[in-house]
Amino acid sequence: MNKNIFSLVCAVVTSILWGSAFVAQDMGMDFIGPHTFNVGRFLVGFLTLLPFFLFFELKKIKKKKIDSKKVFSYLILLGFILGVGQALQQISLMYTDVANTGVFTVMYVLIVPFISYFIFSKKIHWSVWPAIASCVIGGILLSELKNISVRYGDMLGILSAFCWAIHIICISKTINFFNFPVAIAMSQCFVAFLFTILPMVIYEDPSFGNILKDSYEIIYVGVLSSGLAFLLQTYTLQNLTPAPAAIVFSLEGVFAAIFAWLILGQLLNEIKILGIFLILFAVI
DSSP secondary structure, 140-165, as one string: HHH---S-HHHHHHHHHHHHHHHHHH
| Core vs surface per residue 29-57: b (16+ CB within 10 A) or e | bebbbbbbbbbbbbbbbbbbbeebbeeeb
Which ranges in 2-142 belong to alpha helices (H)?
A: 3-27, 34-52, 58-63, 68-92, 98-105, 108-118, 128-142
Task: Give 3's Cβ-side CA count (13 Å radius).
Answer: 6
- Do the beta carbons of residue 164 and residue 96 sit within 8 Å? no
**Tens-place pLDDT, residues 227-262:** 999 999 999 999 998 888 988 898 888 888 888 888
Q: Residues, the chain, total?
A: 284
Structure confidence at residue 119 (pLDDT)? 73
CA distance 214 to 145: 30
The distance from CA 158 to its chain's CA centroid, rounded to whole angstroms, is 13
3-state secondary structure of 24: helix
User: Tens of pLDDT along 184-211?
Assistant: 999 999 999 999 999 999 999 999 999 9
Burial class (CB in 10 A: 0-12, 13-18, 19+), 127: exposed
* Cα 261 to Cα 279: distance, rounded to the nearest angstrom: 17
- Give the pLDDT of residue 121: 67
* C-alpha radius of gyration, the chain, whole number: 18
Comparing 91-100, 118-127, 160-169, 219-228, which segment has the lowest mean pLDDT? 118-127
User: pTM of the prediction?
Assistant: 0.89
Contact call for residues 157 and 85 (beta carbons, < 8 A): no
Whole-number pLDDT of residue 82: 96
Q: How far apart are CA 266 and CA 159, in angstroms?
A: 23
Q: Is it the case that residue 147 has pLDDT exceeding 60?
A: no
pLDDT at 143: 66
The percent of residues above 70 in pLDDT, for the chain, comes to 95
What pLDDT is attached to residue 56?
94
DSSP letter at 65 equals -
| DSSP code for 178 | -
Residue 121, classed as helix, strand or coil, is coil
Q: Of 181, 162, 159, whose CA–CA distance to 172 is shortest?
A: 181
CA distance 96 to 26: 10
Lowest model confidence (mean pLDDT) among 62-66, 168-172, 275-279: 275-279
Summarised one tens digit per residue, pLDDT across range 128-143 is 888 888 877 887 777 6
